[in-house]
Structure 1
Amino acid sequence: MENSNQSSFTEIYKSIKLFLKDTFDISQDTNHTATIEDIKAGVDMKGQNAWVLIFSILVASTGLNTSSTAVVIGAMLISPLMGPILGMGLSLGINDIDFLKKSLKNFGVMVILSLLTSYLFFSIPMFQNETPELIARTFPDVRDVIIALAGGLALIIALSRRNKSLNTIAGVAIATALMPPLCTAGYGLATLKWDFFRGAFFLFSINTIFIASATFLVTRFLKFPYEAYANSKRRKIISQIISALALIILVPSVYLFYQLYKKSDFNQKADGLITKLRTEKGMLILDVHKDFEKKQISFAVVGKSVSQTDIVDFKSQMKDLGYDECKFKVLQDAGNLETISKINEIENSFLSNQQLLLKKSQQLLDKDKEIFELKNQLENIDKKVFPFTEIAEEIKALNDEIEMVSYSNKISTNFIKTDTIPVFEILWKKNVSSKTITLENEKIQNWLRIKLKNDNVRVSY
């Protein structure tokens, strides 16, 4: 009886195993040679492919500028962007270093052509408005990684079949959306909005890395034949180089996936707690911003106030969810009672300060008046005690050709400030030449400035 049961279970297990193999086995319908040829044929970015790429970028840029999803989808269907990316993944999978170089070269041409075309389009002022379609391409998250990886897997599996499914290839071109991020990056360059450029180019990089990684993984899983090399030593070196490159791509891909996963997880948990706060406290919460890098959450509250206890509780819950030292910025509603009280306090303080300032201003005016009067008195005193006769005799002693010396205070203004300038007028004998007078006046002026310690002294004749 036991043997009969065991035999029955074995039959069921074999049937299930056979069913699963028939359902999920992709190796039986694989055409290695045709797949490699098809991918190699689509790598080149020259001739017709280059022009198709340029025109499809223009179509996509127009669609993004008008927020027309249908136009953007149409552009993605006609663009040849996928070719060099598949080429990079395939070349890594089959150890073809020459094909890898060709794929990288054409990938570079593809990126430059795309950025240049979109840059020129968005350089036109009438096309520089921000639209929802453009903004949507600047915030990649973990779902974009899943789309790129799953799309890349679907694409290479579809391409490897003997009977290729054009619907699958077209669907992957739409889902992975390589073109819109490149157009958005061009928009960021044209308008100098670097956050747009960084976010969009990051999204394009995610799609590129994971589509290439998916192609590499499937080609190895399906055991695509390695490129044949006559020199076994060269094959070994190339194999090592390719393996290192594959590792360089795959390791950052895993790290990138983890980082985007953590960012999405942080945003999701923060949204959950904010929803809970909104439901339990009956608050209207607006303008929510989450910054994963800074671990900061900010939002505005209308209606009930968020107390310090609520914030402490919020931090504690985020800590329990794995995000310690989370920061919160809460903008309270101006209609709250405590806020009104604070505003009243500020208003009262402002009025008191205004009264104090008026009083101080009057005191300053009185002081200025007093200073002005004292200054006039000092000037009068200076005039009285100024030793004019003594200075005039000293000037005469400097040169016997001087007949007369006069002195006065000249008041001048440049409409910014007013100065009082001491002026000495010297009358020379008629036989003294003009050149001598000029030189002697300059010497006497320098002497007077030193003697009177006043650089404003002037000498004229």
Structure 2
Amino acid sequence: MTNNEIDKAKSGKSHLDNFIKYLKERFDLREDSASEQEVAERVGRGVVFKGTNLWVLIFAIMIASLGLNVNSTAVIIGAMLISPLMGPLIGIGFSLGTNDFELLKNAMRNFLLMVSVSIVTSTLYFLISPITVAQSELLARTTPTTYDVLIALFGGLAGMVALTRKDRSFVVVAGVAIATALMPPLCTAGYGIATGQFRYFIGAFYLFFINSLFISLASYAIVALLHYQKKTQIDKEKEKRVRKIMYVVIVVTIVPSVILAYGIIQHTSFEENADRYVTSVFHYNDTMLLDYQKNYHYKNRQSEIVVRLVGEPLSQSAIDNARSQMENYGLKNTDLVIRQTDTKGESVDVTALQKSYSELLEEKNAQIARLQSRVASLSIPDTLSVSDISREAAQVVDNVASLSISKHITYSAEGVATDTLFYCFVEQKDSLAVDVDRLGEWLKVRIKANDLRVIINNE
């Protein structure tokens, strides 16, 4: 190697060393780090929930519950801005990283208090709220995935990094990041209890639990990265056992969320592939794509794509060719269902077709309304208690042994419903006469019926 080549190699190595040194200076967390004692005092103060912290938590939970209830993202964010949730979780991770078991006990107690107060507050809100429908913002917190874990992890990292700085201007912002992962699930858990929908409670509380776990884990990781001193020295074997337990808890907690995330990814991938497939393949001169439907099935059942076509019907060879292209779009375990409408060579009037669909929809809605009205007319009103009426009738008219009332619809010879009337079947006492006219007039007033027939059972 010549001297020139050696000089070039040294120069290249020098540039690389300078670049690495530059990166280390940029990403070094120790430069503006607060002292360990100062950080420990901050964490210790932050874990305590009483007085101001507790009341602010209650108000924040109320605001977040209201935001979830009315489906307002802005209101939920507003609740996060004042939420004091990060203290106990940061404290748990910090205490594990420094072997401060007294702080760990205090953080755990306050964590349980925080959870209890939050769930009770949100439950009370949803019990008195007139809006009981689960909105999209609320439903989004019932199915935990790996993405939620990542939000909690990065939020926890941001919170702990901000807490260990001399300049604490970013602590509030980091608290908002942590509240993003914690407040909505807690409020959703309260909704599940208030409405008796425990699957919502289980899903939301599981989301809250894994988020809490990974926020604490993030705090623990920053403490380890900064090499904070241990407050209590324990033997290496015991430390290994503690770490093993931590790893087991982490794995057991995260596995279900990974499975759920995989399912969501598969579903999203199917939707995207189906869109690409239909828009790319179904282009024909005399046949127009009307619409299509994607039905994804999570388990062993085949997913399917239902395509509706109008115009010249596709030949079997064209359909087979369309099916053969499905694998090219990642649709291996998917069935293709084609619904065709033959216009017999006539041009397709899209506007008329849309109008036809609208008219059909209106007709169906009108039919549903008629059927609902018919069901209502066939049902005897709740206020009509035949047992009460039979006792009252015995006091109004003599010789009534028993009676029954039913509601009927009369039809014309053309099969058209013409009227609704009540029938009252009366059994007399020992063949003694019943004043039919008096009973009929009284019943019309009693059950609010315009048309009523009284029939005497002589047997």
Q: What's the TM-score once normalised by structure 1's chain length?
A: 0.62
Q: Give the distance between the partners of 1:241 and 1:37, measured in 2 at CA.
A: 28
Match of 1:427 in 2: none
CA apart distance, 1:61: 0.7
In structure 2, relative to structure 1, the CA distance for the partners of 1:15 and 1:200 (3 Å cut) is same
Q: Does 1:280 align with 2:259?
A: no
1:83 aligns to 2:87 (yes or no): yes
Residues 257-406 of structure 1 mapped to structure 2, 5 A cutoff:
258-282=258-282, 288=294, 290-292=296-298, 297=303, 301-303=307-309, 314=326, 318=330, 326=333, 336=341
Q: 2:174 aligns with which of 169, 172, 189?
A: 169
Among 63, 70, 75, the alignment partner of 2:74 is 70
Asked if structure 2 preserves the Cα contact closer than 8 Å seen for 1:141 and 1:263, the reply is no
1:184 to 1:295, Cα distance in 2 relative to 1, 3 A: farther
- 1:21-72: CA deviation from partner (whole Å, max 9, x where unpaired): 0111113322222222222211123333222222211111111111222211
Displacement after TM superposition at 1:141 (Å): 3.1
Counterpart in 2 of 1:249?
A: 249
Contact kept? 1:278, 1:285, Cα under 8 Å = no
Asked if 2 retains the 8 angstrom alpha-carbon contact of 1:95 and 1:238, the reply is no
Measured in 1, the distance between the counterparts of 2:111 and 2:324 equals 51
Letter aligned with residue 309 of structure 2: G
Between the aligned partners of 1:195 and 1:129, the Cα distance in structure 2 is 15
Task: Supply the AA of the counterpart residue of 1:180.
Answer: P
CA distance in 2, matches of 1:259, 1:54: 34
Shift in alpha-carbon separation, 1:202–1:318, aligned structure 2, 3 A? farther
Question: Superposition RMSD on alpha carbons, in Å?
Answer: 3.4
- Tell me, in whole angstroms, the C-alpha distance in 2 between the residues paired with 1:189 and 1:307: 51
Q: CA deviation at 1:327?
A: 6.7
Secondary structure at the aligned position of 1:126 is classed as coil
Contact 2:80 2:176 in 1 (8 A): no
Q: CA deviation at 1:183?
A: 0.7
Q: Is the CA contact (8 Å cut-off) linking 2:273 and 2:331 kept in structure 1?
A: no
Structure 1 equivalent of residue 397 of structure 2: none
Tell me which residue corresponds to 2:32. Answer: 29
- In structure 2, what is the Cα distance between the partners aligned to 1:158 and 1:178? 18
| Further displaced range: 282-291 or 18-27 | 282-291
Q: Once the two structures are superposed, what CA deviation does each residue of 1:283-338 show, in whole Å capped at 9, x if it has no partner? A: 56666454546676466544379968867865796587xxxxx576x7876x756x
Structure 2 residue 135 is the aligned partner of structure 1 residue 157: no
Judged with a 3 Å threshold, the aligned counterparts in structure 2 of structure 1 residues 63 and 12 are, in CA distance, closer, same or farther, namely same
Q: Contact conserved, 1:142 with 1:261, CA < 8 A, in 2? A: yes
Q: Letter of the aligned partner of 1:188 in structure 2?
A: G
What's the CA shift for 1:261?
Answer: 4.5
Deviations 1:239-281, CA, capped at 9 Å, x for gaps: 3453234223333356356435523431232122211232124
Q: Which structure would you say has the larger Rg? A: 1
> What does 1:107-146 align with in structure 2 at a 5 Å threshold?
107-124=111-128, 126-146=130-150
Name the SS for the 1:34 alignment partner: helix
Q: Is the 8 A contact 1:149 1:210 kept in 2?
A: yes
After superposition, give the CA deviation of every residue in 1:104-126 in whole Å (9 maximum; x if it has no partner). 23222222221111111111251
AA of the residue aligned to 1:89? G
Q: Which runs of 5+ in 1 are unaligned?
A: 321-325, 338-414, 416-461
1:103 corresponds to? 107
Change in CA separation of 1:269 and 1:146 when aligned onto 2, cut-off 3 Å? same
Letter matched to residue 271 of structure 2: D
Q: Equivalents in 2 of 1:89, 1:285: separation in Å?
A: 53
Secondary structure, counterpart of 2:130 in structure 1: helix
Question: What is the identity, as a one-letter code, of the residue corresponding to 1:265?
Answer: I
Q: Residue deviations 1:188-217, cap 9 Å, x none?
A: 221122342233223222321221221111
2:14 equivalent in structure 1: 11
CA distance in 1, matches of 2:259, 2:47: 31
- With 185-194 and 12-21 compared, the bigger mean Cα shift is at 185-194
- Contact 2:155–2:174, Cα closer than 8 Å, also in 1: no
User: Retained in 1: the 8 A contact 2:58–2:117?
Assistant: yes
Amino acid at match of 2:147: R
2:189–2:201 CA contact under 8 A, matched in 1: yes
SS of the aligned residue for 1:45 comes to: coil
Q: Distance in 2 between matches of 1:194 and 1:126?
A: 19
Distance 1:291 1:89 in 2: 40
Structure 2 gap segments, 5+ residues each: 283-288, 343-403, 405-459
More helix by percentage: 1
Aligned to 2:207: 203
* Alpha-carbon separation, structure 2, partners of 1:34 and 1:249: 31
Quick one: distance in 1 between partners of 2:154 and 2:291? 36
1:137–1:200 contact (8 Å) kept in structure 2: yes
11, 23, 26: which one aligns with 1:20: 23
- SS at the partner of 1:127? coil
Is 1:60 the counterpart of 2:75? The answer is: no
Q: Aligned in 2, Cα 1:192/1:237: closer, same or farther, shift over 3 Å?
A: same
Number of equivalenced pairs: 328
8 A contact 1:122–1:190 mirrored in 2: yes
Give the distance between the partners of 1:119 and 1:160, measured in 2 at CA: 35
Closer, same or farther: CA 125–73 of 1 in aligned 2, 3 Å: closer
Deviates more, 1:261-270 or 1:50-59: 261-270
SS in structure 1 at match of 2:123: helix
Residues 90, 292 of structure 1: CA spacing in aligned structure 2 closer, same or farther, 3 A cutoff?
Answer: farther
